[in-house]
Each structure stands twice: as structure tokens, then as C-alpha cells.
Amino acid sequence: MTTYMLVHGAWHGPWAWDRVVPLLDAAGARTLTPELDAAADRGLHDHAEAVVAAIDTVQDELVLVGHSYAGLVVREAADARPDAVDRVVLVDGWAGPDGAGMLNLAPEAFATFVRTAAETFEDGRRVPSPPPAMFGITGDGDAAWLAPRLQPQPLRSFTEVTRLTGAVDRIPGTGICCNPSPFPFDRFAKDVGYRTVTLDGPHDVMLTDPEPLARLLLQEREARSLE
């Protein structure tokens, strides 16, 4: 059996995969959706450690999937457990070499937005959630569903950078890149050696187009069987 570990991005939670999980389960896969702690003192390395702990519970083939910010998280986790991860998939995911982080990959305007938002929120250690439109969710129904679920994100998750030994680069990877996309996620994926496929839909494509996303994820299982 193949296990898909689906890791949510910034400001989101495991619920982000609610529309994809039943489709993978129906295809005979197993799914896990670990939660990245949004407490103010949590950071990228804490989140990677949480994913490593989840990886350690898996006994069968593992496809590790990270959406957006979680692209950095899953690559650090996979680097720590390269023999346990069979494939890495980024869904519009941030990615880079050792030392890459959100604020050195993103345009300066995004970094300024993050720091400014944190400075004016609570004690300055978390970034308040942006509106659904920032994730490409503009339909009334999906926006109304998403808005109350979004949560503040710890600033440390954006300021910390990845610690990679290079082991993750020996694991086959795929970048599923949404179209249109707010950032060059296709370039990020290619720069770390991943093949790329395009999926029409917004950044939060798992909400608007779960069926085609699930089909692409299931193709990862098939690709593994042909290797």
C-alpha cells in the first residue's frame, strides 16, 4: 500500500486536504495529514521534526506531499529520513537548497508584507492570516469556507532556513505547479531537480480542484511502480 502524507501550508491546517483525502482513500491509498503547530514559538525546524515523527510511523511506500510553505518543511524532513521517503511532491511549493527559506526565496514585497503584518499583530511573533483571495480563492462559497479556518502563522516559520545534507536530492520529486501562480514555483521545483507538471487552478487548488490534483498524486504511485 502507498501512504500519502499531505502536509499543509502556512496559515492552513490539516483540513486543507479534506477534499483530497477521500479521493485517495477511494483509490486504495492510505493518507496522513500531520498538523504544523501554529504556536508563536514554532518554526520551520519544529515543523520538519513533526513531519519526521509522522514519517517514523509509516511502514510502507511513502509519498511525501507539501503545499506552499510546506515544500520547505517536507524537504527538510525527507533529508532527515531519506530511506523512508519514496517520492517528494510539491504542490505550488517553496523549495531551494540548504539555507533556503521563505524570506530569501520570495520577492522583497512579500518579505516586507510578512514582517510588517507581524509587527502590528499581537506580540509580533505571528503573522495574521491574509484573505482567501491571496490563495486564489475568490468564489463566494469556497471563500466563505476558507476564511474562518485560516489561522495566524508563526513568524519563525518564515525567517528560519532549511538545514539540508543533500540526502533529499537523491529522492525522486515532482513539482505540481498551479496556473495561474503568484510565484515561480515551477522554477523552484526545477532548480532542485524535480520534474514539473502544470495544473490549472489557483494556489489552493486542493480546495477548488481536488479531483485533478488527486489524479496527479496517484500518478506518483504509478511512476514508482515503473522504476
The C-alpha R_g of the chain, in whole angstroms, comes to 16
The CATH T-level fold of domain 2-226 is: Rossmann fold (3.40.50)
Query: Any bridge partners for residue 41, and if so which?
Result: none
The answer to whether 20 touches 214, Cβ cutoff 8 Å, is: yes
Give dist(CA 226, CA 216) in Å, integer: 16
Query: Has this prediction a pTM greater than 0.85?
Result: yes
Q: At which residue does the C-alpha cell 537523491 appear?
A: 170
The per-residue pLDDT for range 3-23, each reduced to its tens digit, is 999 999 999 999 999 999 999
What is the pLDDT at residue 224? Answer: 58
- The DSSP output letter for 195 is E
Over 50: is that where the pLDDT of 226 sits?
no
Q: How far is CA 80 from CA 19, 47, 77, 226, in A?
A: 29, 13, 5, 26
Q: Closest Cα to residue 113, out of 101, 129, 99, 98?
A: 129
What is the pLDDT at residue 72? Answer: 98
The per-residue pLDDT for range 119-157, each reduced to its tens digit, is 999 999 999 999 999 999 999 999 999 999 999 999 999
The per-residue pLDDT for range 151-210, each reduced to its tens digit, is 999 999 999 999 999 999 999 999 999 999 889 999 999 999 999 999 999 999 999 999
Q: Where are the beta strands (DSSP E) in 50-122?
A: 61-67, 87-91
What is the pLDDT at residue 181? Answer: 86
Coil, strand or helix: which one is 226?
Answer: helix
Sign of torsion, CA 199 201 202 205? negative
Q: Who's near 144: CB < 8 A, 6+ residues apart?
A: none
